[in-house]
Amino acid sequence: MFTWIFRLSPVVLLASCVGLGLGGGNARVSVTQDALVVEAPRGFCVDQEARRDDGLSAFLVFGNCAGMSGSRFAAQPPVEAVLTATISEPGDAGGISAALADLPAYFGSPDGRAVLSRTGDPETVTLLQSFVAGDILYLRAQDESPGVVPGVEDIYWRAYFDLGPRIATLSVLAMDDARDDEAAQLSTLESFVAGTRAANPNVLPSAPDTAPSTQAGLFNSGFFRGILGPRQAASSTQ
């Protein structure tokens, strides 16, 4: 699996953030061979040129519809931000739902903060907040590692949840000059999650056979095999 699940491409984000004239699109996008749907809140449009979808996994970037189209008549989003969505390859049963109780502590640990870091260095990441709502993990983190895209804050909101045997990772990355507070950004992420889940009514989280009981065990669960791949997951525990 690709490391850009967690570490977003500066080139992809830069194109969307500064409005380089890339083609815009709809807020509702079908991805992967399973035709899963990602639906962003009103005012956000997908950047078709930043889209990555090989049938097994997918990565999308959503920007301001008005900014991307150059039309002052286009819908404006509720916050000044860039949205991203990643749909992982299919994995074993029991992704997020299997590890849900342990994930807040995991992402606060050095191993978890290394996963959140653009450079893999846990010292660059501060986990500011995390909580579980139903079968969804929400977290807010700051990544001060090199490579942050100009114009985008180094603090972001992110959500993880299961879509059948796949894992969805949705993020809200605020612009540097955004006037929105963190509550508005979280509300946008919650709308992003709700829209995507509602657009896939027949896709339910897979029921795990067993739930991992330790943070180290998370690397061997379907969650990290689906996101990082066997080789990356194994190296992360060394």
Tens digit of pLDDT per residue, the chain (238 long)? 223 333 444 334 434 343 433 444 578 999 999 999 999 999 999 998 889 999 999 999 999 898 887 777 777 888 999 999 999 999 865 589 888 989 999 999 999 999 998 889 999 999 999 999 999 999 999 999 876 666 888 899 999 999 988 999 999 999 988 888 899 999 999 999 999 999 999 886 544 444 443 444 444 444 443 343 333 333 333 3
Cα 123 vs. chain centroid, distance in angstroms? 21
Residue 78: the pLDDT is 86
Q: What is the dihedral of CA 157, 117, 21, 72, to 10 degrees?
A: 20
Contacts with 219 (C-beta within 8 Å, 6 or more apart), sequence order: 111, 233, 234, 236, 237
Taking alpha carbons only, the member of 19, 8, 14, 9 closest to residue 64 is 19
Residue 56: the pLDDT is 94
Q: Please identify which residue in the block is written with the tokens 């796949």.
A: 166
**Helix or strand or coil: residue 237?**
coil
Residue 109: the pLDDT is 95
In contact, 110 and 148? CB cutoff 8 Å: no
